[in-house]
Chains A and B, each alone.
Chain A
């Protein structure tokens, strides 16, 4: 409804009046000269012109409402139709007969008005505004005929009335003012003063006062009657209208009060809002704008503010005052140890920039507690310009860096707001690791530079990369996200406690009152409880209820699904609730009256949700676990803890059933993961319900985090990798003979026994043939199965030989007695022998390849004949030093180049060529070495002397 034009209408009207009737006013001014006019009466007439229905106007003002413009216009039309008709007819007559100027005419009519006004209270004389004139003309067209018919009659009256006054009217001399010249039949020129005509008009208009009692009008009903009728009708209409509107407007006014701070709360807006659902969210509308309005925990607010104030020195350059006065203030209010600690911290802080030690504040807490609001309000409170980044922004590392630097190093120059920036990074737990690393870099690197750099260098640094000189507030829901791990120790972590429910409810009540939602404190408390003190959720619920146009009652809150979000309860809460039967008296929705009454009548009011009845428990657990969603972890926790729960179960029936449920869970899960039939997922939470029903006890259970499955998996992988390490290096023949499982189950346990024969504790040189045989068997076995001993230093500082790979670890069980071990010396001997044997083998392999002649050793290796090998193995140990024979053997060999190709006689020649240029001593050596030692000139290589030495020679 267009309320504004209604309110403004009178004034507009007035303005138009000035403009449109400028000419009339002019005339009026002229007429002031005429002695017959009183100034007062003129004023009165003006007043009467102002508004057609002063009474009406007064009424409107009283109600504070506005009559719809259209209504008024229709009224006016009625009025004009009724009242003006005669006048216009008259006008017609006059104009047609006397062809006077219209201007004169209207002035006359005004004059009559003025005259009448004095003796008669008939003051409703609608002004001939252009609008009305147009209407009149329109009317005239429609009623033209009747007017014409009535015209002669009027003319008669005019002519009849005129002679009586004619004598005094005809003037011989031209009168002052306006006049008309008339020439009579005598040729006498007479002057007619215009006054004549108006007099006549006035007589017409005030016809009802004429003597004779006959109503002088064209209508069958008298003006008075008509006027009364119209008046009545209008009044009735207005009363009805105003009644309707009063209600509406009262509501809007309430709303207006609520939007005091909003500039755009114009009347038209309000009306739009009244018609359709309101567009703005209440949450935004009622966001706290200053510190005192904050709902969050006072301690948290204060700590954050203190922290932010610590930046003052660095940011604003003003020194911090010694905290005497504030401390006193604080004492008056409450003592905030965290804030105090922060202040102490500044003293300890060493960097030259006087920044707080923790460069970042990290707010964490469940959604809807007002973290973002707090950050904004406090930053503004402390005199910063808030720059926010949240999950909706691109948070790749580059963009993130760019934006952080933009926010922390730049400052609005152009805007009217030259305050320094404070960066608020919202929803940081969703940011990728790379982005967080960027943030960390900025915090850390600057840190070092700040500490290291003396005062002079700082300026340069700032120009280069910029020291972090602006506070950053990060906000997250989950503090323990992996990506935040490194940020946590560097930041001031502030946990958000849940809002005090009475405070929240109080605020809600205020909102409800402003928005004229009918509700009460109890209901709102219940709502707070249900939404788990989520402010946003509460306000949204309230708005939702309001938009439906209903009131909020306690039963609504209970039955409502709204406001109950997916509860992300922690795993421990879930486990706890599964293992604990809810107490009988515990009510889901606390009634404060009941609380006041000491929970005496607690039993009555819980009919809606009874968490202690089996059905209620069932539903509760189902909702709880499906809300949590981490089925796998939940299940592991149950498995880990269910046997510790206190329950009566003589024959373990419950345990069996629980195990069956676990089996069910496993099968379902397996099917889901194998063939992706996720529809089965919905059956999983019933496992937890079953567990609750089976194992829930009255006392709170001791819960431990399920780690055993993970540990088991870890160890299993370890064992597997040990096995893989062992099998990986085993020879192909052995490897192909035994499968993995058989290897672990059958072979390995026996093998570890077999490789620990008992040796006499004597030197290996003194072994009998049998013992030597045994030893060589052992060595071959160990090599074949890729086992050896390795010296290691134990934590106690003793050296010991351990099996490598350490399969003993893989096969030993915890409660079994440790097996007898070989002595240190024996192990050392074995390890040495294994090394030697390995070298021998690789040498033999190399030799055989080089010669392309199978040697006996090679045969041994391939076919598994061992006797030759052992004979060989016995030789080198003591023959190592006596080797004249070996040299001759070596001499027989042809020289071989790097690739194993036989080098023929050319080589000595080439050597000679090379050596001749080199030195004489080399020739000498080559002569003595009988061709086995030779020089080869390698450019750039110093160790040019080469000789082929078989490994046997060294052993």
Chain B
């Protein structure tokens, strides 16, 4: 509560500072009484969860903010015990089924059944449905998603689902079509700028606009990150200076250095070193797709225009294989090797052309 991110998080739809039009729509949706399943998607740090919380508050009032942590135990058909933690109020339950790994199907089925089968006692004063909030739906296995689609229809009278994910590409169409999609785009630079200024004003600080825009830049339109960066900057040095260094996450720095290592030399030996670094990134639980994306972003910068398209294409190719496969290190290394190969050929051709 004490981080600015938490402290200045809006708690009602009317207080949202951007995407206000959408907020109004959501409000109307609630007032209308009927409420479909929702699929809220958008990049990290765009405000999905904030909007969902606001929506729930709009639905049930302040009571929804009294949260408790519950531990549920499920037994799979193969007699394996799964423990999963949920965050619940009297009106809703939030769960991240992908915590259960490959057994998420059981969680989805059992949990929703459990919630949906308990009718609200006093339906005259309350809504007649509860809300089940499933986060990180894109990490659900196909099995679980298929299990979900029947459950969604079956218990629609007593239970509404709000699915929250970053990308709908991994949500099966059957589920997408059963939900009202709510896209939460990332805030623009200006929006981030203004929010940073608002936060500083509330904290009684003065923020130079240059620094604000730099932070907005660095945050890559991720509001959570932007506010955290701001706070980190403040801790680092208070009277802000416009040219103040913006603190970056360690792994980003590390990834950039890795990219530099790749660009500076292309040889099997270097590839071996890079592998060590990739391993280290993985051990810090940096998702491999984030790594490949970060690498691409860094590598692209040092590429000639001609190469950019090709490198991007290969990055996409290996990222796809990464998603299909299981051992991410193979695919990451394959991408790096491919890049090295392309890059070195390009350099040598360039050299040869210069010589002639």
Contacts and interface: CB of A to CB of B under 8 A. Distances in A.
Asked if A and B bind, the verdict is yes
B172 interface: no
Interface string B19-63: 000000000000000000000000011000100010000000000
Interface stretch (B189-197, B300-308, B321-329): B321-329
Interface string B261-293: 000001111011001000110111111001000
Interface string A806-830: 0000111111100000000000000
A712 B249 contact: no
Interface string B320-343: 010011110111011001101100
Interface in A695-746: 708-709, 711-712, 715-716, 719-720, 723, 728, 731-742, 744-746
Nearest to A774: B235
B146 interface: no
A756 B267 CA distance: 41
A709 B329 contact: yes
A667 interface: yes
Interface stretch (B74-82, B177-185, B221-229): B221-229
A659 B327 CA distance: 12
A753 B229 CA distance: 9
Contacts of B287: 741, 745
Interface stretch (B1-9, B108-116, B117-125, B150-158): B1-9
Contact of A864 (B1, B45, B249): B1
A898 interface: no
A650 B249 CA distance: 36
5 contacts: A651-B344, A732-B87, A741-B285, A784-B2, A810-B284
Contacts of B286: 744-745
Range of interface residues on B (Cβ < 8 Å): 35 or more
B174 interface: no
B68 A737 contact: no
A66 B68 CA distance: 103
B236 interface: yes
A746 B247 contact: no
A734 B6 contact: yes
A652 B87 contact: no
Contact of B280 (A655, A733, A813): A813
A866 interface: yes
B135 interface: yes
B15 interface: no
A754 interface: yes
Contact of A739 (B6, B96, B321): B96
A719 B285 CA distance: 7
Contacts of B345: 651
Contacts of A737: 5-6, 9, 49, 53
A745 B67 contact: no
A549 B247 CA distance: 85
B2 A745 contact: no
A746 B225 contact: yes
B254 A816 contact: yes
A778 B87 CA distance: 25
Main secondary structure of the interface of A (DSSP, over half): helix
Interface of B: 1-3, 5-7, 9, 44-45, 49, 53, 65-69, 85, 87, 94, 96, 99, 135-136, 222, 224-225, 228-229, 231-232, 235-236, 247-251, 253-254, 257, 266-269, 271-272, 275, 279-280, 282-287, 290, 318, 321, 324-327, 329-331, 333-334, 337-338, 340-341, 344-345, 348
Interface residues of A, number: 70
B323 to A, nearest CB: 10
Contact of A750 (B87, B228, B279, B329): B228
Contacts of B99: 740
B249 A719 contact: no
Interface in A760-790: 777-778, 780-781, 784-785
Contacts of B285: 716, 719-720, 723, 741, 744, 810
A739 B136 contact: yes
Nearest to A864: B1
A864 B2 CA distance: 8
A669 interface: yes
A660 interface: yes
Contact of A745 (B69, B249, B279): B249
A778 B85 CA distance: 28
Contact of B334 (A643, A663, A754): A663
A344 interface: no
Interface of A: 639, 643-644, 649-653, 655-656, 658-660, 662-663, 665-667, 669-670, 673, 708-709, 711-712, 715-716, 719-720, 723, 728, 731-742, 744-747, 749-751, 753-754, 756-757, 777-778, 780-781, 784-785, 810-816, 862, 864, 866
Contact of B228 (A720, A754, A813): A754
A732 B133 CA distance: 14
Contacts of B87: 732, 735-736
Contact of B232 (A720, A733, A750): A750
A746 B338 contact: no
Nearest to A782: B2
Contacts of A736: 49, 53, 67, 87, 94
A780 B257 CA distance: 35
Contact of A663 (B9, B257, B282, B325): B325
Contacts of A723: 285
A334 B41 CA distance: 81
Given A716-B285, A732-B68, A733-B1, A663 B331 contact: yes
Contacts of B236: 753
Contacts of B268: 643-644, 649, 652, 655
B325 A643 contact: no
A864 B325 contact: no
A669 B326 contact: yes
Residue in A655, A670, A719 whose Cβ sees the most chain B Cβ within 10 Å: A655
Given A750-B231, A813-B284, A784 B6 contact: yes
Contacts of A670: 324-326
Contact of B325 (A652, A667, A781): A667
A866 B284 contact: no
A659 B326 contact: no
What are the 3 closest A-B residue pairs judged by CB atoms, nearest first? A659-B334, A750-B228, A749-B249
B313 to A, nearest CB: 14
A777 B231 CA distance: 12
Contacts of B96: 739-740
B11 to A, nearest CB: 10
B327 to A, nearest CB: 5
Contacts of B1: 733-734, 780, 784, 864, 866
B344 A781 contact: no
A709 B283 CA distance: 10
A673 B324 CA distance: 12
Nearest to B89: A732
Residue in B67, B229, B268 whose Cβ sees the most chain A Cβ within 10 Å: B268
A866 B6 CA distance: 13
B330 A716 contact: no
A781 B2 contact: yes
Contacts of B228: 746-747, 750-751, 754
Contacts of B324: 667, 670
B96 to A, nearest CB: 7
A715 B231 CA distance: 30
B271 to A, nearest CB: 6
Given A736-B49, A749-B249, A712 B2 contact: no
B6 A663 contact: no
Given A655-B341, A670-B326, A754 B68 contact: no
A381 B324 CA distance: 63
A762 to B, nearest CB: 18
A662 B341 contact: no
Nearest to A647: B268
B266 A652 contact: yes
Nearest to B257: A815
Contacts of B333: 639, 659, 662
A252 B247 CA distance: 95
Nearest to A652: B341
